[in-house]
Structure 1
Amino acid sequence: MRKILVSLMALMVITTSFAFFGKKDDGKKVGLVVSTLNNPFFVNLKEGAEDKAAELGIELIALDSQNDPAKELANVEDLMVKGVDVILINPTDSDAVARAVMQANRNNIPVITLDRGASRGKVVTHIASDNVAGGEMAGKFILEKVGKGAKVVELEGIPGTTAARDRGKGFNNVAKGNLDVVAKQAADFDRAKGLTVMENILQAESEIDAVFAHNDEMALGALKAVEDSGKKILVVGFDATDDAVASVKSGGLGATVAQQPKMIGAMGVEAAVKVINGEKTEEFIPVELELIK
């Protein structure tokens, strides 16, 4: 009888252990693939997602693509191996990310894009600022400050990203017929490249009244080039990173369009939970913008 009781107790312990581990494995698990963590904007996006995941009791696995589409695909494949329920992805490039999105589609893992969209593949929802409206906001501010016919430079982000296309589209909606865009070059959303590209433009163009950069990192790089040249040129950025806002307050940058990256990350996690729970989500969830000047 005693042997039977001992056996039953051992079986209960084993069963309880399996139940415990099974419950742990059944918890909600979300993957986050960030284009780069070498940019304050995306660091803030990741932090917003992490804070919301902690608040909701969600396991979040965040991976850095280091601005490399091949690394991005590998990160998505890694998350699939880890058994995530939903993948949040901030694409390195809207076209290049299609392979990663379709890979997740084939494995029946829902995908949510953040800040930048995907040109192909099935995406459950896209969460981002209205970049066209933000570009228009920057264009109107520049027009107001330097006047019609002023000579302006546009520093573009990474070609192929929805952020670069939409911000440029919004700015050019205002610039067309109002501003003379004397130079338009890509600086890949990077501060060092923004500095180098702007230095070259300053050498090629004798007269420049303003610069619109598709993000703050390029804007701050351009501002350094302008300051080194000794010229007075209005520089406007986009994202309202801490460095950019500090520069606006100190009289460096003229303005920056404020996104809310932490909110984008947090809303991504909230949308992921809805998807896991079988709830409906909107195809596009906009995040409000404002102009810091």
Structure 2
Amino acid sequence: MKKVLSVACALCMTTAMLTGCGSSNNAGTAATGEAQNSAAASTTTEQASTATDAGTTLIALITMDSLDQHWVTLNEGAQKAAAELGVTVQFMAPNTKDDAQQIECVNNAVSAGAQAIIVAANGPDAISSALREASDAGVKLIYVDSPANVSAEATFSTDNNAAGKTAGEEMKKALADAGVTSGSIGIINVNAATDSCVMREEGFRSAFEGTDFELLETQYGEGDAAKSQSIAENYITQGVVGIFGCNEGSTTGAGNAIKASGKDNVIGVGFDKSDAILGLIDDGYLLCTMAQNPDVMGYEGVKAAVKAINGESLGGAVTDTGVSVLTKQQ
């Protein structure tokens, strides 16, 4: 399944009142339903209290949602580092990409006594006030995947602009190989705020500068595969020659739409790695996907958090965790 091209380029420590934010310190666990959320909240609060009372280092990992495989894999990397370093990492994830729930996760992490918060910001602005308050309270901040507009000890993410441009170059080459030198191309993004996805789109668009291709106005599917499929189906009806999905849900939706259309002349390129996406590539409905290294983000994020908690200055360093292009197995 892999042609690798190196490019340089869901736990919420909730109160009983909060629903929709699941919690776990295991990669595959996410509470579903009101009763499970309530139970998870109670368990988490007790675990956090026990950890801090015993002097154990407590780190909160807050991602955008609990659904995408990307975040599950990131948490797996974080838990691996936690086991090696003897610290507790609590995985915090809203059920959907919701600013209010993510802010609540930050506030609850601070209340629970987390010494550091590792966060993938849903948007750079919405969560900033809560993070600033956390920082003022002495909590160390580490960004993974997507930063907010508050200074952090360190950031571990993909060079999203470069990776987006690579995605564009892959599509452009496939179109050229098919003898297509002009036409319209659709773009499905999560929203207009998430920094990582915005940068991917900018990079993708830059790959087509100076060509005869028309890149249509971006449509937003909130990272939801079903919504993204509907958007992609509309693009296909308009006669696009290609569709770019900026994240896992967008890519899955685009591939499913191409599959449902029965057309073999629409090039689909996407971002992130999941079983569904890899299956769509193997079956020929997607050309390729830009696979990040979320496990590296989580692993290095925890290591950095522990260093910061122990007083080491990290200088706000930004580390590119890399990306690979995954295509159909030859």
TM-score clears 0.5: yes
Aligned with 2:118 (options 70, 73, 88): 88
Whole-angstrom CA distance in 1 between matches of 2:283 and 2:304: 38
Residue 229 of structure 1, aligned match among 261, 265, 284: 261
**Larger relative contact order (CA 8 Å, sep ≥ 6):** 2
AA matched with 1:65: P
2:83 paired with 1:54: yes
Q: Quote the residue 1:256 is aligned against.
A: 289
Residues 5-29 of structure 1: per-residue CA shift (max 9 Å, x gap): xxxxxxxxxxxxxxxx999632221
Task: Give the Cα–Cα distance (whole angstroms) in 2 for the partners of residues 23 and 215 of structure 1.
Answer: 36
- In structure 1, how many angstroms separate the alpha carbons of the residues matched to 2:99 and 2:173? 39
Structure-2 change in CA distance of 1:196 and 1:116 (3 Å): same
Q: Is the 8 A contact 2:52 2:113 kept in 1?
A: no
Q: Shift in Å at residue 262 of structure 1?
A: 1.2
Structure 1 residue 51: Cα displacement = 1.9
Following superposition, the deviation at residue 216 of structure 1 comes to 2.9
Is 1:220 the counterpart of 2:249? The answer is no
1:64 to 93, 102, 110: 93
Amino acid at match of 1:25: A
User: Which structure 1 residue ranges, 4+ long, deviate > 4 Å from structure 2?
Assistant: 21-24
Report the CA distance between 1:133 and its aligned residue: 0.9
- Give, in whole Å, the separation in 1 of the partners of 2:294 and 2:191: 18
Equivalent-residue separation in structure 1 for 2:215 and 2:202 (angstroms): 13
Q: Equivalent residue for 2:241?
A: 209
State how far apart, in whole Å, the 1-side matches of 2:51 and 2:62 are: 26
Amino acid at match of 2:236: L
Q: Where does the alignment leave 5 or more consecutive residues of structure 2 unmatched?
A: 1-49
CA–CA distance in structure 2, aligned partners of residues 150 and 200 of structure 1: 16
Q: Distance in 1 between matches of 2:216 and 2:109?
A: 45
* 3-state SS in 2 of match to 1:244: helix
Q: Percent identity?
A: 26
Aligned mate of 1:100, from 130, 144, 147:
130
Matches within 5 A, 1:1-293: 25-66=54-95, 67-118=97-148, 120-147=149-176, 148-178=181-211, 179-203=213-237, 205=238, 207-232=239-264, 233-281=266-314, 282-293=316-327
Q: Is the 8 A contact 1:95 1:161 kept in 2?
A: no
Give the equivalent residue in structure 1 for 2:3.
Answer: none
**Cα displacement string for residues 167-225 of structure 1 (whole angstroms, at most 9, x for unaligned residues):** 0111011112223213421112221111111122233x1x2111111013212211222
Q: 2: CA distance between counterparts of 1:22 and 1:242?
A: 35
Counterpart code for 1:115: D
* Larger CA Rg, structure 1 vs 2: 1
CA 1:137 to 1:33, structure 2 compared with 1: closer, same or farther past 3 Å? same
| Deviation (angstroms), 1:152 | 1.2
Number of aligned residue pairs: 270
Q: CA deviation at 1:260?
A: 0.9
Give, in angstroms, the shift of residue 151 of structure 1.
2.4
Q: Structure 1 unaligned runs (5+)?
A: 1-20
SS at match of 2:218: strand
Quote the RMSD (CA, aligned, Å). Answer: 1.9
Q: Distance in 1 between matches of 2:235 and 2:254?
A: 10
Question: Aligned partners of 1:225, 1:112: CA distance in 2, in Å?
Answer: 37
1:134, distance to aligned residue in structure 2 (A): 0.7
Structure with the higher fraction of residues in helix conformation: 1
CA distance change for structure 1 residues 261 and 23 in 2, over 3 Å: closer, same or farther?
A: closer
Q: TM-score, normalised by structure 2?
A: 0.77
**CA spacing shift, 1:158–1:183, aligned 2, 3 Å:** closer
Q: Evaluate the alpha carbon distance shift between residue 22 and residue 155 of structure 1 in structure 2; reply closer, same or farther with a 3 A threshold.
A: closer
- In 1, are the aligned partners of 2:247 and 2:270 still within 8 Å (CA)? yes
| DSSP 3-state at the match of 2:167 | helix
Deviation at 1:263, TM superposition (A): 1.2
- The letter of the residue matching 2:311 is G
